[in-house]
């Protein structure tokens, strides 16, 4: 079981942050240079495809929600708009 979160990444073509269609573990989000958004959901390990990210258009309604814990956000930077 792992906790995944929505996240935003920089879209070069639009020159702005956009929400990823994938969800990611805190490690996967760091690797993608993304910014964590919102609360996490617990998923089975098989929901993680590669590099700590889910499939595109991941449906969070299929899993249970959890509160965002400090241990899962350590090492992630604050979103630039929240600094």
What pTM was computed for the model?
A: 0.71
| Angle 28-33-39 from CA coordinates, rounded to 5° | 60
pLDDT at 75 over 50: no
The secondary element (H helix, E strand) that includes residue 17 is strand 16-24
CB of 66 within 8 A of CB of 41? yes
Q: What is the pLDDT of residue 70?
A: 35
Compute the distance between CA of residue 15 and CA of residue 36 in angstroms, rounded to an integer.
19
CA 70 to chain centre: 15
pLDDT value for 73: 42
Give the model confidence (pLDDT) of 11-61 as tens digits.
999 999 999 999 999 999 999 999 998 888 888 888 898 899 998 888 777
On the question of pLDDT at 5 being above 90, the answer is: yes
The pLDDT of residue 80 is 60
Q: Is 38 helix (H, G, I), strand (E, B) or coil?
A: strand
Q: Which two tokens stand for residue 72?
A: 């899962």
Which has more confidence, 65 or 62?
Answer: 62
The DSSP code for 83 is -
């Amino acid at each position: 079981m792992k906790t995944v979160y929505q996240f935003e990444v920089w879209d070069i073509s639009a020159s702005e942050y956009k929400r990823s269609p994938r969800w990611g573990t805190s490690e996967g989000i760091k690797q993608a240079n993304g910014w964590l958004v919102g609360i996490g959901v617990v998923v089975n390990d098989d929901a993680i495809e590669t590099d700590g990210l889910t499939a595109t258009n991941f449906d969070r309604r299929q899993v249970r929600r959890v509160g965002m814990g400090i241990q899962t956000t350590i090492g992630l930077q604050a979103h630039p708009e929240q600094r």
